Amino acid sequence: MNKNGKLYFEIDGKPCYADAGQSIIDAAKANGVFIPSLCHVEGVKPAGSCRICNVKVNGRVMTACTTPVEDGMVVDNDIPELIELRKAIIDVLFVSGNHFCPSCEKSGNCELQALAYRYQIMVPRFPYEFPLKDVDASAEHIFHDANRCILCKRCIRTITKEGKHVFAYQGRGGEHLQIVMDKELASLLTEQEAQEAMEICPVGAILKKEQGFIVPIGERKFDKVPIGSDIEKQ
Amino acid sequence: MTEKIQSIIRKYSSDKYRMMDILLEIQELYHHIPEQAVEILADQLDLSRVDVEQTISFYHFFSLEPVGKYAIYLNNSPVAHMYGRTEVARAFEEEVGISFNSATVDGLIGLWDTADIGMSDQEPAAIINGTVFTELDPAKARKIIQGIKEGKKVADIAEEIADKIYSKGLLRTMVKNNIHAKGSVLFGDFELENALRKALDKTPEEVVEEVKASNLRGRGGAGFPTGLKWEYCRASGGDEVFLICNADEGEPGTFKERVILTELPRMLFEGMVIAGYAIRAKQGILYLRYEYRYLKEHLESILQGMREMNLLGKDIAGKSGFDFDIRIQLGAGSYVCGEESGLIESMEGKRGEPRNRPPFPVQSGYLDKPSVVNNVETLCKVVPILANGADWFKSVGTKESTGTKLLSISGDCKNPGVYEMEWGMTINEMLEMVGATSVQGVKVGGPSGNCIDSTHFGRSIAFEDLATGGSMIIIGEQRDLLRDFILPFTNFFIEESCGSCAPCRSLTVILRNKLLKILNGNGTKKDIDELYTWAQMGTTANRCGLGQTSANPIITSLDNFRNLYDDLIKTDQDYLSAFDLEKAVAASCEVVGRVPNIESH
C-alpha cells in the first residue's frame, strides 16, 4: 500500500496503483494498460462471460473483470500463453456465429473484429459451424441479429425499458443458447435508446435501423487505430 | 386459468425468488408453462416476458410446449444404453406411435430423452410424472403405455409392472437401494439425537474444530475441507446465514445420494442441524434434484417427525436459543446446478448459472447472505464424527482421505449398486468386489472425471490419487468406448453448459465435431493432435467446474486410449476433409437410381 491509500500491484512488471475494490481490468486501464475484453462495461457488475480478459494472478488464470486488485498482486497480461488463449477464444467466437465483416454495419466499430485485427488473426483455426440463428426486425427502431451475437450479456445487463430487461438469454447449452429481444419492450424503445443499445453491443447483433452506413467504412473508430490504443497512449 | 395461476403466485407471496416453486406447480398442473402464465408471471413479478422465459428455458423439466399429460422421460445416458435402453425406447415409440422428443397430437403422451436420472444401478429407467420406473424392458414399456391408454393412474401402473414395491412410510417405489457393502461410518451404529446432544454440549466453535480435526473433505467431488468452509462462513459475520444441502447429484453414474435420502434421511437432517448450529444458521435448505421428486413426501414426513421430537424448530433438543428448520427446494433438471453457486442462483428462481468468484458463497451466497453448501454424504458424515470423535474418524481411510466413501458403481459388473468403502481401496480391489471381469476401462468420477485403462487399476481411490465424487462406471472390453461413452459424454456437456463462458459453450462443440470427424473415418494424425491441443485450451479459461472439466472425456481418453483413436485414422494422408462427398450424394443417388460417379469429378 502506498501513502495515498492506493493498492500497489504490477502488470507485466509495470508498477500500478488501484483503489480498494477496483477490478484488475479497470485499474489496468487507469494505469495505461490495455486488457482486452468483449463483455466488460465499466460501472456495471461484471459478467465474466467472454473470458478474453483472462490474466494470470500469482500464476493462476483469472478474469480481470471479476477479480479485485489486492495489494502486492502480480499480474501477467501480455504474455504468449494468454495471447494464445485470447486468440483461441476470438477464433471460437468467429466460427460459432455467422460473421460477415466486410458488409456488416458495425465493421470498423466492432470490437470482435478489432481484436482480431489487433491479434493479427487472418483466419480462425477452427472449422466454421454455420449455425442457424434468428433475426428479429419486429421493432420500429431496433434490429436484433443473433447470427452476429457473441452472447456477451452486455445488453442483458444494461438495456432496460420501464425498469425491465429488454434482452435475455433463451435456452442453454452450446447449440441452443441465444439472446432474444422482448418484442413488447423493444417496440417501445426510442431512437435514442436504440442508438445506445447499438453502441453497447460489441458486435453487430444490435443495430439501430436506418443507420448502417451513415459513417462510411474506412472512417470508423478502429479503421484508424487499433483497439486499446487510446488506453495505451495515456 | 388466470385465477389458478394467480393463486399459485400468491401462495409464494409474489416472490420472484420463489420462481422455481411457482413454475414447478404450473408445469405439473398444465404439463407445460402456458403463454398466458408467462404473461401473468411477468406482470405480477414485475419482470419482462423474456426474463421469465430465460428461467423456464434453462431447465429440462420446464417446457413452453405441452409435454403430455403423461410425460415419459426415459434416461438416455450411456449406462442406460448398456442395459438395453435402445430396445425400450423403440417399444415406447411403436406403442405410442410417435418419435422421442415429441408429444401425441391429443396431448396425452410425450416421449422425452433425459440425461442421467440417478438410477444407473437399475437401468433402463424412466420418470413418468415424477414417478420412477426402473429395470424396464420392451414388454414393460408396452404395458405402461397400455395402462396410460386405459386411463390408469401412474402410481397404479407402477404397482402393476414392478417386480417389487419397496415401502418406507410415505415412500412406495420400485427403486431398489442395492446397498452391497456397509462400512463403519455411514452404516455403522446410528442413534438419532446422540451426535446432536454431543454437539450441543460443545460451543459452535468447538464443533467446527472437531470437524476440522477429522479432516473431513467434501464428498461431492471437489474435496474442499468441510470444517474450513464452516470456519470461513463464520468469519463472514452477518446476521443471517444459510446452510444448504446439495442433493442435486447429476454426475452421470452417481446415485449414492438417492440411497442416503432413502435409507438415512434422519442422519442427514441431524447432520444439517449440527452444521446449522456450527455456522449459526437458522434456516437449512435441501436442494433436491427434480429426478428425486418421488422422495419429497417421504423426506417431508421425516422432517415433520423431527419437528415433533423437537429436533427441528425452536430451542432444539432443549438448547435455549438454538432455532433451526429445514425446507426442501426442488430443482427442475440441470446438471450445472450441482455447482454450489449455480445451485444458489437456481434457489433464487433464476437460471442456474455459476457465479463469478470472489465473492465465494461463504461470503455472499443465497440472497447475498453467507451460505455453506455441503453435499448430502458430507453432512451425513458429520454425525458419526460428532458421535465418535475426530480421532475415530481419522483411524479409517488414508492420511489425506479420512473416513469412508460411498461409491455408486454401475456398468459391466455383476452387482451394480452402492458400496461404502475405506479410502485407499485400489481399482483392482473394487473390480473384484463388484464382480467385474474383462474390463476395458473405468470412468472414475463420471464424465467430468478420469477415464482409465488397466494400467491404472493398481491405483487407489483417494483424494491424493484417483479422486471421485462417487461415480464409477465400468466399461467392459466388448464396448465401443469412444462412440458409446466419450461422444455422448461430450454431448452431455454441450447440452448442460449454462452457456455463459464462451470456451465452455462453443469450444466443446468444436471438439465434438472434431471427434465425429475421426469417428466417421475422415481423421488423420493431424486431427488427433489438434483435438488434444484444443481440448486443453478451455480447461483453465472457464469459470466453473463444469467448464473446466467439459473436455475431460476427450482429454483422458486420448491419454489412456490413444490406440482407439489411432485405429480410426487414415495414416497415409496428411489431410482429409470432414465432408464426405460420396455419403452426401448417396441418398439422392438412391432415389434417382444412379451410381455415384465421384472419381471423374
Three-class SS of residue A206?
A: strand
CATH number of B480-601: 1.20.1440.230
CA atoms within 13 A on the CB side of B288: 26
Identify the CATH class of A86-211.
alpha beta
**Closest C-alpha among B4, B63, B70 to residue B34:** B63
pLDDT (average), residues A93-110: 96
Are B353 and B83 in contact by the 8 Å Cβ rule? The answer is no
What pLDDT score does B601 carry? 55
Q: Report whether pLDDT(A1) > 80.
A: no
Cell numbers given for B522: 475422415
- The partner residue sitting opposite B510, judged by closest CB among A63, A126, A177, is A126
Are A44 and A58 in contact by the 8 Å Cβ rule? The answer is no
One DSSP character per residue, B488-527 reads HHHHHHHHH--S-SHIIIIIHHHHHHHHHHHHTT---HHH
Fold of B181-394: Rossmann fold (3.40.50)
Q: Which residue of A has its CA nearest to B499?
A: A173
The structural domains of chain B, with segments of one domain joined by +, span 2-56, 70-173, 181-394, 404-477, 480-601
* Interchain CB distance below 8 Å, B499 and A175: no
What pLDDT score does A182 carry? 97
Chain B segment 25-64 residues within 8 A of A by beta carbon are 46-51, 53-54, 57-58
Cβ contacts of B510 on chain A, cutoff 8 Å: 92, 95-96, 126-127, 129
- The partner residue sitting opposite A51, judged by closest CB among B499, B501, B578, is B501
Task: Say whether the ipTM exceeds 0.90.
Answer: yes
* Interchain CB distance below 8 Å, A126 and B534: yes
CATH number of B70-173: 3.40.30.10
Cα distance between residue A128 and residue A118, in whole Å: 21
Cβ-count burial of B285 within 10 angstroms (0-12 exposed, 13-18 middle, 19+ buried)?
buried
One DSSP character per residue, A78-102 reads SSHHHHHHHHHHHHHHHHTS---GG
- The partner residue sitting opposite A169, judged by closest CB among B49, B499, B507, is B499
What pLDDT score does B281 carry? 97
Q: Which residue of A has its CA nearest to B500?
A: A49
* Interchain CB distance below 8 Å, B57 and A46: no
What pLDDT score does B545 carry? 86
Q: Which residue of A has its CA nearest to B334?
A: A172
Cα distance between residue B598 and residue B546, in whole Å: 44
- Report the alpha-carbon angle B444-B447-B448, nearest 5: 85
What pLDDT score does B169 carry? 84
The structural domains of chain A, with segments of one domain joined by +, span 7-78, 86-211
Please name the residue that has the C-alpha cell 466399461: B475
What pLDDT score does A3 carry? 54
**Chain A / chain B CB contacts < 8 angstroms:** 134
One DSSP character per residue, B4-65 reads HHHHHHHHTTT-GGGHHHHHHHHHHHHSS--HHHHHHHHHHHT--HHHHHHHHTTSTT--SS
- The partner residue sitting opposite B542, judged by closest CB among A51, A172, A177, is A51
CATH number of A7-78: 3.10.20.740
What pLDDT score does B585 carry? 87
**Chain A touched by B346 (CB under 8 Å):** no
Cβ contacts of A153 on chain B, cutoff 8 Å: 500
Cβ contacts of B500 on chain A, cutoff 8 Å: 47-49, 153
> Which ranges in A152-190 belong to alpha helices (H)?
154-158, 173-176, 183-186
Three-class SS of residue A67?
A: coil
What Rg value do the Cα atoms of chain B yield, rounded? 25
Segments of chain B scoring below 50 in pLDDT: none
Which architecture does CATH list for B404-477? Answer: Roll (3.10)
Does the predicted TM-score (pTM) go above 0.90? yes
How many residues can be counted in chain B? 601
Cβ contacts of A129 on chain B, cutoff 8 Å: 509-510, 513
Residue B224 CB contacts under 8 Å (≥ 6 apart), including other chains? B217, B218
Question: Which carries the bigger pLDDT value, residue A3 or residue B144?
Answer: B144
Distance from CA of B475 to the nearest CA of A (A): 27
